[in-house]
């Protein structure tokens, strides 16, 4: 049965893009699949995190998962650092992946910026850890936002190269060498808003690490803050078009219409059928009301959960134990295949 795996970094400022592009879809996948959802704290430290803040942020992402409707009993919710097999497999993958492959990753280029000599080695190797996160469960279905597509392709390349490099050993360990030991994971990026853009610049993705808080709607923003951010969102001065074709070349307008459609569970066509010809002064209040209506219940539930950190920690400990049981078995096979001796 195909497993679903995905993760969110506890880097603070969880936002509407994380919700529409990832967490909302995590919730939907639960109905028909076995799902493993991870708070990827080891990814977070690829850029500096204040230790006390990191602990709070790990609990906050967990609270967001639960508040959005992820069921930690029927599925698995845990944090990465509690299952050491992720880092263990990542090392093997560091030795399978090629420098040239990682050199092509656009996320590294964006996050390292101009001062590449000063970026952490972890930031460069980020995609090999991400491949390990998925493949240590031999998961194949990975719901992510569009920005993660390139990393998923790399995970497929790593799985394929591992299967080829160790072909004879895979067979000796009792696996079909034509199928390979690792399956090839698929990015699931379809959905209403696979790429939510910044409210300040419709050509840049909404991001936790954008220094401007006005660039994003945070899941922890109150009603007034949401209304103010939507009001201040950058737009052009034309009214909304009546057809989707009229949005081309209007990135800011397109973004707001896309967000509205995703929040309402409808299409951009349907939104423009209703708001075509309207000025932003009329559209923005409607968008703010809708965002508040969708986010307020999640926000309220997150606050309640954050008041009881011991409960959150217990959820993560239980999830880590169940995730670790799966990961340990896969890692035992990996050790055999690679040629490591092991005691158990
Ligand atoms: P950071 O800036 O720290 O990388 P982030 O906002 O990119 O933070 P991540 O934790 O890296 O968040 O990503 C979590 C999930 O949210 C991933 O599946 C990612 O593809 C998705 N995601 C992130 N930003 C957006 C966005 N703007 N639109 C849609 N999905 C997004
Ligand atoms: Mg990111």
Q: Which residues line ligand 1 (CB under 6 A)?
A: 8-9, 11, 17-18, 21-22, 144-145, 147-148, 194-196, 205-209
> Would the pLDDT of 14 be above 80?
yes
This model's pTM is above 0.90 = yes
Residue 134 Cα distances to 9, 40, 267, 291, angstroms: 15, 11, 31, 32
Distance in Å, CA 38 to ligand 1 centroid: 14
Phi–psi pair at 35, nearest 5 degrees: -120, 145
Using alpha carbons only, give the angle 340, 88, 310 rounded to the nearest 5 degrees.
Answer: 140
300 touches 109 (CB < 8 A): no
Distance in Å, CA 40 to ligand 1 centroid: 12
**Ligand 1 atom at shortest distance from the alpha carbon of 14:** 6
Cα 301 off chain centre by: 21
> Would the pLDDT of 86 be above 80?
yes
Whole-angstrom Cα Rg for the chain: 21
Residue 56: predicted pLDDT: 97
Residue 62: predicted pLDDT: 98
Distance in Å, CA 207 to ligand 2 centroid: 7
CB burial string 206-216: b at 16+ within 10 A, e below: bbbebeeeebb
Q: What does the pLDDT average to over 90-118? A: 97
ipTM of the complex: 0.98
Helix (H, G, I), strand (E, B) or coil at 37: strand
Among protein residues, the one whose CA lies closest to atom 8 of ligand 1: 208
Residue 289: predicted pLDDT: 98
CA dist 151 and 219 (Å) reads 25
Catalytic site includes residue 204: no
Assigned CATH for 221-304: 1.10.240.10
Catalytic site includes residue 111: yes
57 touches 39 (CB < 8 A): no
Q: Which residue has the higher pLDDT, 209 or 311?
A: 311
Summarize the annotated binding site for ATP as residue ranges: 9-11, 17-18, 145-147, 196, 205-209
CA dist 17 and 195 (Å) reads 7
According to CATH, the topology of domain 3-194+309-338 is Rossmann fold (3.40.50)
Angle between helices 309-338 and 280-306 (to 10 degrees): 90
Q: Which of 338, 320, 340, 318 is nearest to 328 (CA)?
A: 320
N residues, the chain: 344
User: What confidence tens digit (pLDDT) does each residue in 211-247 have?
Assistant: 999 999 999 999 999 999 999 999 999 999 999 999 9
Residue where the block lists tokens 């509205």:
260
Catalytic site includes residue 161: no
Given the residues 24, 205, 229, 284, the one annotated as active site = 205
Residue 209: predicted pLDDT: 87
Using alpha carbons only, give the angle 314, 320, 326 rounded to the nearest 5 degrees.
Answer: 150
**Ligand 1 atom at shortest distance from the alpha carbon of 107:** 4
Given the residues 111, 161, 204, 329, the one annotated as active site = 111
Question: 169 Cβ partners below 8 Å, 6+ apart?
Answer: 336, 337, 338, 339
Task: Give, for ligand 1, the residue of 5, 6, 21, 111 to mutate: max count of ligand atoms closer than 8 Å to Cβ.
Answer: 21
User: What confidence tens digit (pLDDT) does each residue in 284-320 have?
Assistant: 999 999 999 999 999 999 999 999 999 999 999 999 9
Q: Tell me how many helices (H) and strands (E) the chain has.
A: 15, 5
CA dist 76 and 118 (Å) reads 36
Domain ranges of the chain: 3-194+309-338, 221-304
CA dist 99 and 103 (Å) reads 6
């Amino acid at each position: 049965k195909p497993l679903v795996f995905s993760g969110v970094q506890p880097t603070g400022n969880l936002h509407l893009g994380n919700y529409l592009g990832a967490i909302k879809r995590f919730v939907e996948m639960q109905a028909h699949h076995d799902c493993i959802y991870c708070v990827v704290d080891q990814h977070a430290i690829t850029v500096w995190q204040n230790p006390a803040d990191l602990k709070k942020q790990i609990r906050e992402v967990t609270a967001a998962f639960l508040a959005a409707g992820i069921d930690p009993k029927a599925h698995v919710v845990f944090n990465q650092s509690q299952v050491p097999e992720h880092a263990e497999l990542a090392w093997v993958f560091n030795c399978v992946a090629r420098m040239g492959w990682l050199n092509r990753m656009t996320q590294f280029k964006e996050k390292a910026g101009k001062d590449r000599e000063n970026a952490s080695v972890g930031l460069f190797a980020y995609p090999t850890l991400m491949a390990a996160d998925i493949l240590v469960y031999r998961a194949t279905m990975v719901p992510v936002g569009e920005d993660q597509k390139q990393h998923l392709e790399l995970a497929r390349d790593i799985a394929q190269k591992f299967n080829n490099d160790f072909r004879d050993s895979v067979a000796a360990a009792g696996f079909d060498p034509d199928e390979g030991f690792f399956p090839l994971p698929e990015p699931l990026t379809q959905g209403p808003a696979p790429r939510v853009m910044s409210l300040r610049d419709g050509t840049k993705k909404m991001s936790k690490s954008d220094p401007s808080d006005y660039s994003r709607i945070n899941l922890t923003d109150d009603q007034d803050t949401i209304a103010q951010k939507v009001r201040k969102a950058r737009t052009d001065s034309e009214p909304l078009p009546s057809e989707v074709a009229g949005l081309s070349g209007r990135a800011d307008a397109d973004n707001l219409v896309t967000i509205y459609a995703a929040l309402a569970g409808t299409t951009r066509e349907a939104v423009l059928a209703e708001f075509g010809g309207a000025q932003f002064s009329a559209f923005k209040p409607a968008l703010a009301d809708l965002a508040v209506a969708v986010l307020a219940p999640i926000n309220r539930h997150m606050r309640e959960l954050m008041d009881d950190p011991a409960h959150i920690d217990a959820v993560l400990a239980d999830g880590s134990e169940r995730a670790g049981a799966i990961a340990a078995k896969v890692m035992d096979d990996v050790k055999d295949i690679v040629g490591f001796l092991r005691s158990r």
